[in-house]
Chain A
Amino acid sequence: MAGTGEIRSCSDGGLCKSAGKRLTTEFLSCIKCQVKLTKQQANWSPYDNGGSCVAVAGADYCVVAADTRMSSGYNILTRDYSKICKLADKCVMASSGFQADVKALQKLLAARHLIYQHQHNKQMSCPAMAQLLSNTLYYKRFFPYYSFNVLGGLDSEGKGCVFTYDAVGSYEKVGYSSQGSGSTLIMPFLDNQLKSPSPLLLPALDAVTPLSESEAVDLVKTVFASATERDIYTGDKLEIVIINAEGIRREYMELRKD
């Protein structure tokens, strides 16, 4: 029977007051420790406004797109919120995650860009802005910006480039990327259609896609229409920004509103 002649301690790592005492139950820990283990966890977090963003780089253009829905829990806060921000002449950032942190990040980068322009008398190039964003994010390594970014633009030679980030600033130059709630649905399709060469190959192969600009825009529209079908946080409207040698152009497309 339980407790006969056996001295055993509560299994809760020896910190329990019943340690070393004979337990009167059949269980491996005393009642108090069991109650502690079943403590309720808060499971609502304000830190996600939903949404997805995508960027695709081409030979002489770059397409950056994001949906315009901002949500909180099961509610829609607004159907018309732009997640895309122009940081420099040929450099555009799309961010999903917690939009308050995204706004703060955009403000900071705009201010730093202005300082750069005053000091160097020129606009920041896309690779330079990419490094700046990475450093800015890592600066808050221990209380991060809850912001998942993709940076798209043209580098100094006019070729398309896309940089993808995590919340604390780890970044990589890639041919295409997606972030946000729909990224798990979008990324495999992009991988299938735009398969990028392995980054381990030497010499490093070019990651930009051979598709034309209109084909890339068509791909992005399809990808968002599909993600909207299956992801509840993606929808309402799609904002597409296309950067090429002539400048920056914006397009909109309606998505499912349910």
Chain B
Amino acid sequence: MSRFFVEFKMAQAAVEVPPKGGFSFDLCRRNEMLSNKGVPPPSFRKTGTTIVGLIFQDGVILGADTRATEGPIVCDKNCEKIHYMAPNIYCCGAGTAADTEAVTDMVSSQLQLHRYHTGRESRVVTALSLLKSHLFNYQGYVQAALVLGGVDANGPNLHTIYPHGSTDTLPFATMGSGSLAAMAVFESKYHEGLTKEEGINLVCEAICSGIFNDLGSGSNVDVCVITKGHKEYLRNHQLPNPRTYVSSKGFSFPKKTEVLLTRVTPLLEKVEVVNGGDAMEE
């Protein structure tokens, strides 16, 4: 039996981990075995989410809700889903929170290095290519669905990026679990040549539609307006969900953890302390 294990180990050593990085799937069989035995896998934090973007006459407006969920529980009532990519490019993220954060941070720093290298303002299509190739390389395992918007030398740009790496270029876009609710609003009311106020109002309406009709989205509305040479990040532009009831008399929490029993056992009687023992091994 021991020879079997030795051979098995040797056989495993012959299987190399892919040298260029990428995912290591070693633990997949263990995870399967655990879930067959009834141990549920840990849930990860998803941003249930409604994210939108639209192009108006002077540039691009992005919008997002602010609720992050872990299954049925809200874990963050006011998180930020509109991520900075470049001074003229912002990206909204839906899907697994860690994935959207990591991928946008990574591409943002790649863009900065590129700006130093070229000496020019970043272009939205650069960010788009970096994001889509990263996501495609991971074959959809990096669950980030993004709405990328910005204004560069080619004018205003709006793109959606799906977790498997496909992209769309659109005049208005929505992503996330509340995307259908938001898209219903856009399809009814969007037209070309919106002014800034009209655009912001439409984005807020679409996000509110997601907030109130989708259980994965909620709390407040964040808006980001990007125009040529200028951007406005309106954090918590609307707060349509105040707490409905605050008790006037308040509550007291007098019960601390009760001490039921105290017992002190001195250990000197049980242990011999020898001075000058062996030196620790290096």
Q: Is A233's beta carbon under 8 Å from chain B?
A: yes
Picked from A193, A225, A232, the residue with its CB within 8 Å of the CB of B251 is A193
**Interfacial chain B residues near A27, Cβ < 8 Å:** 29
Instruction: State A6–B1 Cα separation when bound (angstroms).
Output: 10
Q: How far is the CA of A64 from the CA of B141 in the complex (A)?
A: 46
Interface centre among B212, B213, B216, B245 (most CB of A within 10 A): B245
Q: Does B47 contact A (CB under 8 A)?
A: no
Say which size band chain A's interface belongs to: 35 or more
Which residues of B in the span 237-253 have a Cβ within 8 Å of any Cβ on A? 240-241, 243-249, 251, 253
Residues in A with CB closer than 8 Å to B14 are 1
How far, in whole Å, are A253 and B246 apart by their CA atoms in the complex? 12
User: Is A258 in contact with B241, judged by CB distance below 8 angstroms?
Assistant: yes
CB distance from B237 to the nearest CB of A (A): 15
Query: Are B32 and A75 in contact, CB atoms less than 8 angstroms apart?
Result: no
State whether A232 touches B255 (Cβ < 8 A): no
- Contact B7–A253 (Cβ < 8 Å): no
- Rounded to whole Å, the gap between the CB of A232 and the closest CB of chain B is 4
Does A76 count as interface, using CB distance less than 8 angstroms?
A: yes
The chain A residue sitting closest to B10, CB to CB, is A1
A26 in contact (CB, < 8 A): yes
Q: Does B73 belong to the interface (CB within 8 Å)? A: yes
Q: For the complex, what is the distance from the CA of A218 to the CA of B253, rounded to whole Å?
A: 16
Known contacts A8-B4, A258-B219: A2-B244 contact under CB 8 Å: no
| Residues from chain A with Cβ under 8 Å of B73 in the complex | 185, 230-232
Chain B residue with minimal CB distance to A182?
Answer: B72
User: Residue of B at shortest CB range from A27?
Assistant: B29
The reply on B48 being an interface residue by CB < 8 A is yes
Kindly state the separation between the CA atoms of A38 and B36 in the bound complex, as whole angstroms.
Answer: 10
CB-nearest residue of chain A to B208:
A258
**Are B215 and A76 interface neighbours, CB within 8 A?**
yes
Complex: A198 Cα to B170 Cα, angstroms: 63
- Tell me which residues from 153 to 198 in chain B have a Cβ below 8 Å from any Cβ of chain A: 177
* Max chain A C-beta neighbours (<10 A), residue from B3, B10, B212: B212
B74 at the binding interface (Cβ < 8 Å): yes
Contact, CB under 8 Å: A233 / B215: yes
Are A232 and B74 CB-contacts (below 8 A) given A74-B214, A258-B219?
yes
A45-75 contacts to B, CB under 8 A, are 71, 74-75
Q: How far is the CA of A71 from the CA of B212 in the complex (A)?
A: 12
Within A1-31, the residues touching B (CB, 8 Å) are: 1-2, 4, 6, 8, 26-27
In the complex, what residues of A have CB within 8 A of residue B240's CB?
A: 258
Nearest CB in chain B: distance from A3 CB, A:
9
Q: A26 to B12, Cβ gap below 8 A?
A: yes
Interface pair B32/A258, CB less than 8 Å apart: no
**CB-CB contacts of A184-209 with B at 8 A, as 1s and 0s?**
01000000110100000000000000
Q: Report the minimum CB–CB distance from B221 to chain A (whole Å).
A: 11
Q: Which residue of the partner chain, among A1, A75, A193, A258, contacts B67 with CB atoms under 8 Å?
A: A258
Q: Kindly state the separation between the CA atoms of A2 and B11 in the bound complex, as whole angstroms.
A: 6
Complex alpha-carbon distance, A208 and B217, angstroms: 39
Q: Which residue of B lies closest to A71 (CB)?
A: B215
Whether A181 lies near B67 (C-beta < 8 A) is no
Contact across chains for B244 and A225 when beta carbons are under 8 A apart: yes
Residues 219-243 of B, flagged 1 when their CB comes within 8 A of A and 0 if not, give 1000000000000000000001101
A222 lies within 8 A of B15 (CB):
no
**Chain B: minimal CB distance from A173 (Å):** 23
Whether the Cβ atoms of A1 and B245 lie closer than 8 Å is no
Which residues of chain B are within 8 angstroms of A37 by Cβ–Cβ distance? Answer: 32, 36
**A89 close to chain B: CB less than 8 A:** no
Given A74-B214, A233-B72: A38 touches B32 (CB 8 Å cut-off): yes
Q: How far is the CA of A227 from the CA of B211 in the complex (A)?
A: 17
* A233 and B212 alpha carbons, distance in the complex (Å): 12
15 more contacts with CB within 8 A, not counting A76-B215, A218-B247, are A26-B8, A38-B32, A74-B215, A181-B72, A222-B247, A225-B243, A225-B244, A225-B245, A225-B246, A229-B77, A232-B215, A232-B216, A255-B244, A256-B241, A258-B67
Pairs across A and B, CB under 8 Å, 11 listed: A26-B8, A185-B73, A193-B251, A218-B249, A225-B243, A225-B244, A225-B246, A232-B48, A232-B215, A233-B72, A257-B212
